[in-house]
Amino acid sequence: MSDKPQACIFDLDGVIVDTARYHFSAWSELANELVIPFNEEDNEQLKGLSRIDSLEFILRKGSLVLDNHTKVRLMDRKNDRYLSHVKTMTPAELFPGVLEFIDELRAEGVRIGLGSSSRNAPLILDLCCITDRFETVVDGNSITLSKPDPEVFLTGAQALGAQPENTVVFEDAVSGVKAGKAGGFRVVGVGSPEVLSEADFTISSFEGFSLQELLSRLS
């Protein structure tokens, strides 16, 4: 990709803000109630998954079978705990450099979207005062298939009027990277190159990252 992309689509958790610790706290409390062991490695497996898929992972780990009504009640309980943490968020919790990079892209005419499995994405964007940076927000409320299915990114690209091959996805989760590649996107992993080995390339953070470097690394 020698020319600038038509669009860039960003995941939220772990890419723009760090809410993973809030998810971990809420899921671990729930798992503890169910007497199911749950650690940070397990939490890594939940990155990019929908709420129901995350719960199913924990239930499988504990060999526990529950009816749908109970599952909904447990998911609601987890979300209430998660939201109690999220509602304290401020713009100070944005990852260093990410807002500057997004603003550089926008100044260069690159269209910006959000693609997240989280149902709380709009709330987090509002609390961090960055809703206006995104032309479209595709989240867990507007998709039927969670990552690694590419639906979230394909829907975002369509809303932005961009083709997948001319759109770059930024993801921190293995399932998200797989989703982006499955949809025909170029994918930049945010995190460990060993973990996100299927990405086109990885960055450790957005500090000092620029459009010029993006084009250079993708060419």
- Which residue numbers are catalytic? 11, 13
> Which amino acid is residue 69, in one-letter code?
H
Locate 98 and state its tokens.
């990410």
> Which amino acid is residue 117, in one-letter code?
S
Locate 140 and state its tokens.
């867990």
Nearest CA to 110 out of 8, 3, 219, 188 is that of 8
Q: Whole-angstrom distance between the N-terminal and C-terminal Cα of the chain?
A: 5
Give CA–CA dist 152/148, Å, rounded: 9
| DSSP bridge partners of 188 | 170, 201
| DSSP bridge partners of 13 | 17
| DSSP bridge partners of 190 | 203
Cα 89 to its chain centre, rounded Å, is 17
> Which amino acid is residue 105, in one-letter code?
L
- Taking each helix axis as running N to C, give the angle between helix 174-182 and helix 151-160, from 0 to 180 degrees, rounded to the nearest 10: 60
